[in-house]
Amino acid sequence: MDLVNPLMKQGHIVKEIRKIETFILWLSALLNALNGILMISFSILNPDSEKLLLEGDIAIKPGRSAKKCDDCRWDKSSNGNVIVPYIMSSGYNDAEVSLIRASMQEFETVTCVRFVPHTTEENAINIVSADGCWSFIGKTGGIQDVSLGGGCMYKGSIQHEINHALGFIHEHSRSDRDDYVTIMGQYISPGDLNNFRIYDSNNLGLEYDYESVMHYPRDAFSNTSGKDTIVPKPDPSVQIGQEYGLSSLDISKINKLYQCDICSSLLHHPSGNVISANYPSAYPNNANCVWLIRTPYDQVSLKFDAFDVQSSPKCVSDYIKIYDGASKTSPVLLDRTCGAAKIPQLISSTNLMLIEFVSDGAVTATGFKATYNTERCGGTFYTPSRNFTSPGYPIAYYDNLDCFFNITAPAGYKIILNISDFFLENAANCRFDYLSIFDGDNPASPLLFHSCGNVAVPIQVSTGNSMLLYLHSDGDKQERGFKASYTIKPLKRN
Q: Which residues are catalytic?
A: 161
3-state secondary structure 396-437: CCCCCCEEEEEEECCCCEEEEEEEEEEEECCCHHHCCCEEEE
Q: Which distant-in-sequence residues (6+ apart) come within 8 Å of 229 by Cβ?
A: 183, 184, 187, 188, 196, 216, 218, 219, 220, 221, 222
The answer to whether 233 and 179 are in contact (CB under 8 A) is yes
Helices 155-166, 248-257: inter-axial angle, 10-degree rounding: 20
State how far the Cα of 326 lies from the Cα of 355, in Å rounded to an integer. Answer: 9
Q: Which residues contact 343 (CB under 8 A, 6 or more apart)?
A: 304, 307, 334, 337
Cα–Cα distance for residue pair 482/390, rounded to 1 Å: 6
Dist. CA 485–CA 17, nearest whole Å: 63
* 222 secondary structure, DSSP code: B
Query: How far apart (Å, rounded) are the C-alpha atoms in residues 40 and 60?
Result: 9
- The CA distance from 200 to 319, in Å, is 45
What secondary structure does DSSP assign to 261-302, as a single string?
--EEEEE-SSSEEEE-TTTTSPPPTT-EEEEEEE-SSSEEEE
Q: What are phi and psi of 18, to 5 degrees?
A: -65, -40
N- to C-terminal Cα distance for the chain? 90
Which positions ≥6 away from 89 have C-beta within 8 Å?
A: 126, 127, 128, 129
**CA Rg, the chain, in Å?**
27
C-alpha span between 43 and 56 (Å, rounded)? 4
Q: Where are the alpha helices (DSSP H) in 309-409?
A: none
Distance from C-alpha of 100 to C-alpha of 242, rounded to nearest angstrom: 18
Which letter does DSSP use for residue 217 in this model? P
Which SS3 state, helix, strand or coil, does residue 303 take? strand
